[in-house]
A = this chain, B = another copy of it.
Amino acid sequence: MTQIETDSHMDGRDTTVDTPGGADTTGGAAGDAKGTAKATRRPRRVTLSRESILDAALRLCSREGGAVLTFSRLGKELGADPTAVYRHFRDKDDLVLALTDVMIVEAVQRARAGAPPRQQWREWLLTTVRSIRSVYLERPALAVLAATRTTASPVESESVEEIIGVLHDAGLPVAQAAESCRALVDLTLAFTQYTAAFQILDEETQAKDDRAWAVKYATLPAARFPLVHASAARLTELFRNDDEVFELALATFLDGIEAKIQRARG
């Protein structure tokens, strides 16, 4: 079961419940003590809003929620009929896009909060893309759906302007700064989706993958695979440590940017 606390229900001034007692996802044991008959199922009528639905969806897809985004799960989380969501979002994709927007805004906010001065371009870029990755990976099931999508979010445009600015100030011509920005952001989103896609596989499937790796490395003859054998320690360290592989790829990419800057200056 993927039951999680629903106290964040309370902060929404638009999330109201007609019938006293609220949705049956609140309370738990306390709610049972209050009920008169066993499982009194009064026909409750919940009032939804875009905000309360987005909140519930984000909770559902969080690492603790650990669930795939589904109308039935969403309905249960909201204490409403699953199809009620269609009164606020045209279809599932519309919902996903709204959620993507929320994550982009959160990622940009987090980046700004932790960013060093723009002159330290490398550290500044690292902070920015790590923020994107961390916000997305807090909801793996959503990251898989959101990573590939574009929204018309103004805050994203601001962020692109900033990134290009940092690269330009570091010494790249505008066009090169723009294409480097694009490559960097897509590299980040791609790696993030890649990691999320593995994380949302069920335990058993992930375990199967791990076993395949272990078997492979146990049976490789050192004579025919001398280099794999020599670097087995490092390869094992990196196995399923996607964060470290991402950092490695990112560092190498930024070394490439540095070389590009040198060339542009000289």
Contact = CB atoms under 8 A, between A and B. Distances in A.
Nearest to A227: B164
Q: How many copies does the complex hold?
A: 2
A148 B227 CA distance: 24
A156 B165 CA distance: 42
A159 to B, nearest CB: 10
A193 B205 CA distance: 18
B209 A150 contact: yes
Given A93-B205, A161-B228, A197-B147, A191 B182 contact: no
User: Which of A149, A190, A235: most chain B Cβ within 10 A?
Assistant: A190
Contact of A150 (B158, B212, B249, B253): B212
A234 interface: yes
Query: 4 nearest interchain CB pairs?
Result: A178-B231, A255-B256, A252-B256, A190-B194
Interface of A: 93, 97, 144, 147-152, 156-158, 160-161, 164-165, 168, 174-175, 177-180, 182-184, 186-187, 189-191, 193-194, 197-198, 201, 205, 208-209, 212-213, 215-216, 220, 224-228, 230-231, 233-235, 238, 242, 245, 248-249, 251-260
